Structures are given as C-alpha cells and as structure tokens.
Amino acid sequence: MVARTVGMMLMILALCMLPMFIVGIYYHDDRSTTALMLVFMAMLVSGLCLRSVEKKKATLRIREGYLIVVLTWFLACFCFSLPYIISGAIPNFADALFEGTSGITTTGASILTNIEGLPKTMLFWRAYTHWMGGLGILTIAIAVLPSLGISGFQMARAEISSSDVNKTAPKMTDVAKRLYKVYFLLTAICIALLMAGGLGFFDASTHAFSAVATGGFSPKNESVGAFHSLYVEVVLEVFMVIGSISFPVIYSMVEKKKVLLFLKHQEVRFFLLMLVGSGLASTILLTITHTYANFGEALRYGSFNLVSVMTTTGFASNDYNLWPPALVILLLLISICGGCSGSTAGGVKAVRFMITGNFLATEFKKKLHPRAVYSVKVNNEPVSNDTGVTVCSYLLFFLMIAVIGGIILSLDPGADLVTAFTASLSSMTNLGPGFAKVGPYGNYAFFHGWAKLLMAFMMVVGKLEIFAVLMLFRPSFWNPDK
C-alpha cells in the first residue's frame, strides 16, 4: 500500500512539472528543457514501477500515513533537485539538493552567489517549486487519491497539525479542491497586480509564486529591492500576509462574501495584532535611531522586511543586518512565531503561541486560586490538557532541534556563532535568510556539503512540523505488532 501510494504521488508530481516545458520552449532553453524532461520521465517510470507492486487488501492506517508523507517529501526534494544538476545550473549535488529542498519546503534559502546568472527556465523552476510546495504536496494527494481508491485521510492526519482534521474527514477531498481554487485565484490576482505595476510576466509570476506560497525566492540578486518600487513592495506585502492566514478561513471569507469574516477567528486576530504591533515598534525604533532619513522610509522598509520575516517569506527590500540590535532580536523572535495554522507560512504557528500563553496564564491563576476551575479556549472551544501537552512538547522539540542544529553548524569553519544559530533557526522555521553571513543579501554557499545536507533535512522537519519525521525514529513505529 505504501509503495503503490508513493508511486502515485511521484506520478502526480511529475504531471505538475508539465507547465515548465512551455517555459523552457518559450525561452529556447534546450538544456534546461531536456533536464526537466529527463526528470519527468524518471519520476513517471519510477511511479509506474511502484504502482506495479502486487496489490494486497490493506487499509491505510496512521502509521502508513506518516511513512507516505515523509517518503513523498524527501523524494520530492531529491527529484526537484535533479534539474539543477542535469542542466548544469548547479552541478554540485549538496548545493542542488539544498536549493531544491529550500524551494519545495518554501524556505527560500539559497546557495547561489549570482542568481541572475542562471537561465530563466531554472529561475522560473525555483519559484515554481515554491508554488507547488506552498499548500503542501499532500493537499494534492487528498484531492486526487480518493478518486483512485486510496484514502487521503490518514495522510492528512500525518501532515496537518490541526484538531479539526477528524471533523473535516468526510469532506477532505472537497476541502482540498476548494483550497486550491483559492490558491489559484490569489496567485492570478497577484500576477495581474504586479504586471499593472510595470513588471513583466516573468518577474511578476516568479514573485507572485513566492509571495503567495511565502517562499522568498526572487530571480533578482537584490531581491525585491532591485525594483525600487513602493507599489511592488505593497502588493507583495499584502499577499505575504494573505498567504500567512489560514486558507480555510480565506475560503470561508470568499464563499460567504464577507471581507471581515477573518476577524472572528481568534488565531488570525492574534497574528495580525502581533504583525501590526511589531511593525509599529520597528518603524518607531528605525526613526528614533536615524537608521533611515525620515519616518516614511522607516515605515516603508521596516514594515516590508518585518512582514517578510514574520510570514517566513524571506523577501528583502533592504539589508536588515544593518538595523539596531534590538530590532534584529525582534525579527528573530517573530520569525519563530510564523503565520497561522493551515497557511503556507512556516514557523511554530500563532495558535501554538496562543495556547502556550493561555496555559501559562492559567497556571499562574491556579497558584493564586488553587480551588478555582479554569479552562483554556481557542475560538470559543475548550482546549484539552492533552492538546496543551502536545503543544508544549512541540515547542520543546522545536527549540531543542534548532539549538542542536546550531551547535553542529558552528563546527563549520566558515560559520560564526550568530550565522550558525540563525541558519539553523531559519531552516526550522522555513524562513530562509538569517543574520550575519546568511542575512538578506548573503547566501549559504560558504557552508560545507555536510552542513547543507543537515539544513536541508531540518527544512523538511520544520515543514512537516517535526513529529511526522521523528515518529520514524521510534523502534515501535516499525514493529507490526504495535
């Protein structure tokens, strides 16, 4: 069952590559088109071979769901790295795997020192991998596999960290299809608005793919700063925020035609309050420290880069490495928070911060009033103690992996302490740019191959929100009797 399902996923991912052939042909890039064609054929044939495995009567359990999710993501990272190697754009395996994984996990970290030196087909491919990985590869599976007689529910349980999965199980396929309709619509609107601002189709589409998917890859060496356009920054800023809001909430808003419906959702309100509050704080600090000439410039650059970091997109309009240390710390903290659950953004997610904060506040109240009964609620629904323990465990695992990753990366001769730890944190949050050498105008090229492979692994762990990957390291997971 696992082999057959993974085989089907490979075939679906191969079919998702078809639009890239049009791009390659349009730009007369035979080398890149050939590379993409070879990878397409390899994925298709591999998928067919796995599908030919003898079918046995078996149901897809949660255990198999976890395995399929993890295998699909790691195979996707490997396969989507191959076009870089075959085309010669990135000939080194570790570099290509890092770039490919960064693309599909919407991290946006890059090893490229001269981005504009790549063929346009490969630059488009970088942004397109963001777009494919935005809502999660497995969302495609949830929409398609049930029609082929394969349940997508257990796969959703393995990838989606939400208490509402059980409630939506009967409608999982319909939900996935509707979410992709919204995803397509938002991307099309973003492309149209960017083109209205003077960008060509290539620049508009690549930046739209990255903004809606909160990825951060740009075909420009100076990222968004290369356009020197306030209009482009505002459009991208809006769509980065939209991409960080829960897509089921956005769909409900579109379906019911109520623009302010999202304000009823507690997590979205919390996320937007953090965003606005941090934006105001950064603007004021940049103004009083005279980092920029006037309040207008401080607001422009402060808000854009702060939104880019908090939504874990990674676009840059200015080098925030040069900002005051207090603001750098603020950026570091909000990058950990990330966007809302059910969005394309990375990070810990706002709902986990809400639950943790409420549980801590409740513990303080219990110390003062031991006999009182308190309940933690999110969206007017009580949060069980088990959920609270799970959330706290997640935060503990997140910080532990980020710290251990930072310690290991600091062993690389080219990385100082700040670079190593922010690179580790950026990989886990799927942010991309960090600070110091891996800042917004830096790159990850100086790291050794083993360090790049480690960060690529951490990107997948962060994207799958830790537990799906860590589950495979438990001996009992592989024991058929448990």
Task: Specify burial of residue 163 (Cβ count, 10 A radius: 0-12, 13-18, 19+).
Answer: middle
Closest CA to 394 of 454, 467, 449, 328: 467
- The tokens for 197 are 């601002």
Per-residue model confidence (pLDDT) at position 277:
93
Q: Confidence band (pLDDT; 50, 70, 90) for 210?
A: very high
* H helical segments located in 338-384: 350-368
Across 153-157, 173-177, 257-261, 352-356, the highest mean pLDDT is recorded for: 352-356
Indicate the pTM of the whole model: 0.91
Alpha-carbon distance values, 211 to 68, 206, 229, 308, 464 (Å):
28, 9, 16, 9, 20
DSSP letter, residue 54: P
How far is residue 268's CA from residue 303's CA, in Å, rounded to a whole number?
Answer: 18
Q: Confidence band (pLDDT; 50, 70, 90) for 168?
A: very low
Please indicate whether residue 374 or residue 348 has the higher confidence score (pLDDT).
348
pLDDT digits (tens, 9 = 90+) for 235-291: 999 999 999 998 878 877 877 777 677 778 888 889 999 999 999 999 999 999 999
pLDDT(34) > 90: yes
Per-residue model confidence (pLDDT) at position 461:
93
For residues 439-465, one letter each, b for 16 or more C-beta atoms within 10 angstroms of the residue's C-beta and e for the rest, the string is bbebbbbbbeeebbbbbbbbbbbbbbb
Name, in order, each residue with C-beta under 8 angstroms of 48's C-beta and a sequence gap of 6 or more. Answer: 7, 11
**Mean pLDDT over residues 38-50, rounded?**
95
Q: How many CB atoms lie within 10 A of CB 18?
A: 10
- The tokens for 7 are 């085989």
80 φ/ψ angles, rounded to the nearest 5 degrees? -75, -5
378 φ/ψ angles, rounded to the nearest 5 degrees? -130, 125
How far is residue 100's CA from residue 97's CA, in Å, rounded to a whole number?
Answer: 5
Using an 8 Å Cβ cutoff, are 211 and 239 in contact? Answer: yes
pLDDT digits (tens, 9 = 90+) for 452-479: 999 999 999 998 888 888 888 888 888 8
How far is residue 423's CA from residue 100's CA, in Å, rounded to a whole number?
Answer: 17
* CA triple 320-322-323, angle to 5 deg: 70
CA gyration radius, the chain? 22
How far is residue 325's CA from residue 342's CA, in Å, rounded to a whole number?
Answer: 32
The counts of H helices and E strands in the chain are 22, 2
pLDDT digits (tens, 9 = 90+) for 313-345: 999 998 898 899 989 888 988 999 988 888 888
93 φ/ψ angles, rounded to the nearest 5 degrees? -65, -50
- The tokens for 456 are 């690529």
Question: Coil, strand or helix: which one is 377?
Answer: strand
* CA triple 121-127-132, angle to 5 deg: 115
Question: Coil, strand or helix: which one is 210?
Answer: helix
Name, in order, each residue with C-beta under 8 angstroms of 302's C-beta and a sequence gap of 6 or more. Answer: 279, 282, 283, 285, 286
